[in-house]
Structures are given as structure tokens and as C-alpha cells.
Amino acid sequence: MTAPENDQPLHASDSPLVGVVMGSDSDWRVMSDASQVLTDFGIPHEVEVVSAHRTPDKLIRYGREARGRGIRTVIAGAGGAAHLPGMLASVTALPVIGVPVQLATLDGLDSLLSIVQMPAGIPVATVSINGAKNAGLLAVRILAASDSSLADRVEAYAADLEAQVEQKNARLKE
Ligand code: RP5
């Protein structure tokens, strides 16, 4: 499903408002869903591979600099020992949305538990395993809290979903 048409850019410039980061390029098969949602809603965003374990200095730098660069929300996806979202949340005041990426072993439960069990004080908004689409939508909603025209489009998106369910329902009865 595509987002409702937007006739004007959310931001005057094209500087990114959302950072979509992932532990490996192999996560893109999942994380591209978040990027697609942001594109559909016309949200300028950036995509970057940032590994908690392979590029730890980059992780700290990314987290510390994101807010100053105008990023308003970070979506972070990782699999296995998925420390990226939590570590980012520990070095930025921005909201961090964590996406547990399912790997070939353990059905993604390892990724989920690594991301969701944060210590009190450092929150990560964890979506479902491979739930990158909802991560994108949650980022849109976070931005919409201070942007009423974007909030209108979120409502239109939800109304469209509702209409689709009813269309399918009607088809069942034909
Ligand atoms: C994690 O290790 C990444 O987020 C990825 O999900 C997983 C495997 O990475 P690759 O070995 O495919 O690069 O850090």
C-alpha cells in the first residue's frame, strides 16, 4: 500500500529528518521496508550501515552527531547480538526505534530479546521481528506529532487501510 499523496515537502530543504541505520548491508532486505514508507510519505531520510561491533567508533559518532544534523528520529535494525539500537539510544536524546532482524538461526528471537530488554532509563521503541514497515510508520507518527498536515496524512493512510479491509470483507460475501 502506498501512502496518500503529499503535495508539499515536509521540510524546506532535503536534509534528512530520519536516520535509517542497520548493522550490515545484509539487513537491507528487511530495512528497505522502513525506507519505502518514509519515501511514500515524502520524509527525507538517510540510510547508513553502522555496526555496533565492527564499526564501534562510527556508531558513537553517528549517535552523538545525529541530533545536531537535524535528524529527529533514528530507526535502527540489527540481527543476532543486536546491540545497535540500544547503544545508539545510549548516546543520543533522539527517539530510537529498534527493528529485530531475523537471521537464519533462532528465528529472530535472539535479535528481539537483544533489542527489547533495555535497562530502565534508556528506551528503545521495539517493533516486531522484521517489522521495518511499522518502524517507518512509527517514525512518521513521531514527526506528525508536531506537523498537523502530516498527521492528516497518517489518518488518511489509516482510513485507506480500513476501507481495504471492508472491500475484502464485501468480496467474501459475493
Ligand atoms: C548483525 O549481524 C547485523 O545487523 C546482521 O543482522 C548480522 C549479520 O551480519 P552479516 O554477517 O550478514 O554482515 O550485526
Q: How far is the CA of 54 from the centre of ligand 1 (A)?
A: 10
Domains in the chain: ranges and CATH: 18-147 (3.40.50.1970)
Ligand 1: which atom is nearest the Cα of residue 54? 14
Residue nearest atom 7 of ligand 1, based on CA coordinates: 79
pTM here? 0.92
Instruction: Work out the angle at residue 109's Cα, subtended by the Cα atoms of residues 103 and 142, and round it to the nearest 5 degrees.
Output: 90
Task: Tell me which amino acid residue 7 is.
Answer: D
Is residue 54 part of an annotated ligand binding site? yes
Q: How far is the CA of 101 from the centre of ligand 1 (A)?
A: 9
Inter-residue contact 10 to 44 (CB < 8 Å): yes
DSSP secondary structure code for residue 29 in this structure: H
Is residue 24 part of an annotated ligand binding site? yes
Residues contacting residue 78 through CB under 8 Å, at least 6 positions apart: 22, 23, 24, 27, 52, 84, 85, 98, 99, 100, 101, 111, 114, 115
Question: pLDDT in tens for each of the 174 residues of the chain?
Answer: 444 444 444 344 579 999 999 999 999 999 999 999 999 999 999 999 999 999 999 999 999 999 999 999 999 999 999 999 999 999 999 999 999 999 999 999 999 999 999 999 999 999 999 999 999 999 999 999 999 999 999 999 999 999 999 999 999 998
ipTM of predicted complex: 0.97
Run of H or E residues at 100: strand 96-101
Ligand 1: which atom is nearest the Cα of residue 103? 6
